[in-house]
Homo-oligomer: A and B are copies of this chain.
């Protein structure tokens, strides 16, 4: 049986097609259609199981009430928590979010953005990857609201919400120095991305300001694609090779977890002789014995600001007059 059209419903209810259309689009009250007519039409719709063609509807109204979200890696608790907060906040405002992980892979990121375009999402929230500049410029040309978070891309003007990475690493390193540490290591990831580069700069500047020589042998750069197992192995070797090391700053949460596993394996004690600061707060660091100090990124604030920027852009038709850039401060939590 051919599904009934709006015309059929109108005929059955003895009202005009326009009236049915208003009711289907939730404009019945605004258009002062009587409750009696609304009920009659709704009953017919329920009875025949009419489903409006939603693609046609989204083409007509021009919005799908959905937002595409790209994170680096959904299994990283920093991104998982932010995704969940953004999702909750957006849902309360009537927007659905769907998300995917880029794995920092330019090709995957481009193909995910194109997937979102095909599905006509209303807006984009992206932890960007180098190389996606052209497609982002196309989105901006199409007047699609785009907000970056966690990092930005040079030469692309979008709204963005970032945390001051330089200052996070600077304050953590400075804390180690004030505690009298002399041989402060940095464990970071071998990736040329803004947020990681800035943390490296913060570490170096804190040493410089304290007139401590920067020593490259105290910096370990782990390959991003390395497995958990291999990362732990590499860090065990590194810790064994540098017995003089009396403090370490881990530039990401997952490196800190691998580092704590290496430290546990070596039976190395965290405390007076050897101090640790991790990046991002997490249950793991609160539950660890001893508890681990962290550079805490304000994930609730990141999510709030991202959603505010996006909703603002959506409601103003993204006039692109002002580019909103928010920079939040991390908090050093000493435990």
The answer for the CA separation of A77 and B79 in the assembled complex, in Å, is 11
Interface size on A, residues (CB 8 A): 43
Q: Measured between C-beta atoms, what is the minimum distance from A141 to chain B in Å?
A: 10
A287 touches B257 (CB 8 A): yes
Q: Mark A284-307, 1 if CB is under 8 A from B, else 0.
A: 101111000000000000000000
Q: Measured between C-beta atoms, what is the minimum distance from A210 to chain B in Å?
A: 31
* B contact residues around A283 at 8 Å (CB): 257, 261, 284
A181 within 8 A of B: no
Q: Kindly identify, within residues 60 to 78 of chain A, every residue whose CB is under 8 Å from any CB belonging to chain B.
A: 64, 66, 68, 73-75, 77
* B contact residues around A64 at 8 Å (CB): 115, 118-119
The answer for the CA separation of A64 and B100 in the assembled complex, in Å, is 16
The answer for the CA separation of A117 and B55 in the assembled complex, in Å, is 9
A83 within 8 A of B: yes
B54 touches A118 (CB 8 A): yes
A281 within 8 A of B: no
Given contacts A74-B84, A98-B98, 14 further A-B pairs with CB under 8 A are A54-B118, A64-B118, A73-B84, A74-B87, A77-B77, A91-B108, A96-B112, A98-B99, A98-B100, A98-B115, A99-B99, A119-B119, A261-B287, A264-B287
A81 within 8 A of B: yes
A16 within 8 A of B: no
A276 within 8 A of B: no
User: Which of these, B66, B77, B111, B260, contacts A80 with CB under 8 Å?
Assistant: B77
The answer for the CA separation of A74 and B71 in the assembled complex, in Å, is 12
Q: Measured between C-beta atoms, what is the minimum distance from A86 to chain B in Å?
A: 10
B54 touches A114 (CB 8 A): yes
A101 touches B75 (CB 8 A): no
* B contact residues around A118 at 8 Å (CB): 54-55, 58, 64
User: Which of these, B81, B96, B100, B289, contacts A75 with CB under 8 Å?
Assistant: B81
Q: Kindly identify, within residues 93 to 120 of chain A, every residue whose CB is under 8 Å from any CB belonging to chain B.
A: 96-101, 103, 108, 111-112, 114-115, 117-120
**Nearest chain B residue, comparing its CB with the CB of A257:** B283
* B contact residues around A115 at 8 Å (CB): 64, 66, 96, 98
User: Which of these, B68, B74, B287, B289, contacts A83 with CB under 8 Å?
Assistant: B74
7 A-B pairs with C-beta separation under 8 A:
A66-B119, A75-B77, A75-B83, A96-B115, A99-B99, A99-B100, A288-B289
Q: Measured between C-beta atoms, what is the minimum distance from A106 to chain B in Å?
A: 14
The answer for the CA separation of A96 and B108 in the assembled complex, in Å, is 9
A100 touches B108 (CB 8 A): no
Q: Measured between C-beta atoms, what is the minimum distance from A219 to chain B in Å?
A: 24
* B contact residues around A98 at 8 Å (CB): 68, 98-100, 115
* B contact residues around A101 at 8 Å (CB): 84, 87
Q: Mark A234-278, 1 if CB is under 8 A from B, else 0.
A: 000000000000000000000001001100100000000000000
**Nearest chain B residue, comparing its CB with the CB of A111:** B96
The answer for the CA separation of A95 and B300 in the assembled complex, in Å, is 32
The answer for the CA separation of A287 and B292 in the assembled complex, in Å, is 12
Q: Shortest 9 CB-CB distances between A and B: which pairs?
A: A75-B84, A98-B98, A54-B118, A289-B289, A119-B119, A80-B80, A75-B80, A96-B115, A284-B284
